[in-house]
Copies of this chain bind each other. A is one copy, B any other.
Amino acid sequence: MKKGMILLLSMVAALATASAQTEPVDSSYANNYYVERMKFFEQLHPAPKPVVFLGNSITEAGPWSEVLPGINVVNRGISGDNSWGVLARLHQVGQLKPAKIFLLIGVNDLKRGVPVEYIIRNYDRITATLKKTLPKTTLYLQSVLPVAEPMLANIYAKISNEKIQQLNEGLKQVAQKYNCPFIDLYHEVFIDEKGQMRTAYTTDGLHCKPAGYLAWAAYLKKKGYL
């Protein structure tokens, strides 16, 4: 726990400095759960060249090794994480020397009212850092998933498919800039004919049901990404 606390304090300090100089920072990710998961990750020793799923609760809850049998998958999802939280733990992800990284982050930033431009800026930083530090790793930028707006609880009031689409447009541009594959899960897998997250794929309008993970994994395989 001592190590975790030092980590947390150093992150908060770093962010406070960055914040004072440049832009608002949503440091809500830096909670006990984040520190606990980071500590857990430190104790794991995955097989070489893993495929890393990196993101928030949607990634954390994913039964990746079940829906992608025979693939050396590693789950680096942290419930509640946002784009700053991912940025702050890229060094740990880098230690895995992944063959591939599938990134999905941003909906918690929207949840807390972070403007789309800041999230895109963080995506740019994440992508730039990973391209530089892990030149042999393929980084897949996955679109943020749609939500089923009528199903969302009040805590998600600031999230809309309109904003998600704005964010995804920006992510697409980041992907083009850095020559990364952009995976349009929003349109290709999760959206229904009414422009909402398919109800068959979601538990609460935002998180995924097993059927959603199955469709997601099938799409990644169909497109040859895995």
Taking beta carbons and an 8 Å cutoff, which residues of A are in contact with B? 36-37, 40, 43-47, 63-67, 69-70, 72-75, 210-211, 214
- Given A43-B214, A210-B40, CB of A65 within 8 Å of CB of B69: no
Q: Are B70 and A66 neighbours in the complex by a CB distance under 8 Å?
A: no
Q: Are A67 and B47 neighbours in the complex by a CB distance under 8 Å?
A: no
Q: Which of B36, B44, B46, B65 sits near A73, CB closer than 8 Å? A: B65
Q: Which residues of B contact A211 (CB under 8 A)?
A: 40
Q: Which residues of B contact A69 (CB under 8 A)?
A: 44-47, 72
Q: Which residues of B contact A74 (CB under 8 A)?
A: 66
Q: Which residues of B contact A73 (CB under 8 A)?
A: 65
Counted per complex, copies of this chain come to 2
How many angstroms between the C-alpha atoms of A74 and B63 in the bound complex?
10
Q: Which of B36, B45, B46 sits near A210, CB closer than 8 Å? A: B36
Question: What distance in Å separates the Cβ of A179 from its nearest Cβ neighbour in chain B?
Answer: 31
Q: Which residues of B contact A210 (CB under 8 A)?
A: 36-37, 40
Q: Which residues of B contact A36 (CB under 8 A)?
A: 210
Q: Are B70 and A47 neighbours in the complex by a CB distance under 8 Å?
A: yes
How many angstroms between the C-alpha atoms of A72 and B71 in the bound complex?
10
Question: What distance in Å separates the Cβ of A193 from its nearest Cβ neighbour in chain B?
Answer: 20
- Given A36-B210, A40-B210, A210-B36, CB of A63 within 8 Å of CB of B47: no
How many angstroms between the C-alpha atoms of A37 and B214 in the bound complex?
13
Question: What distance in Å separates the Cβ of A20 from its nearest Cβ neighbour in chain B?
Answer: 34
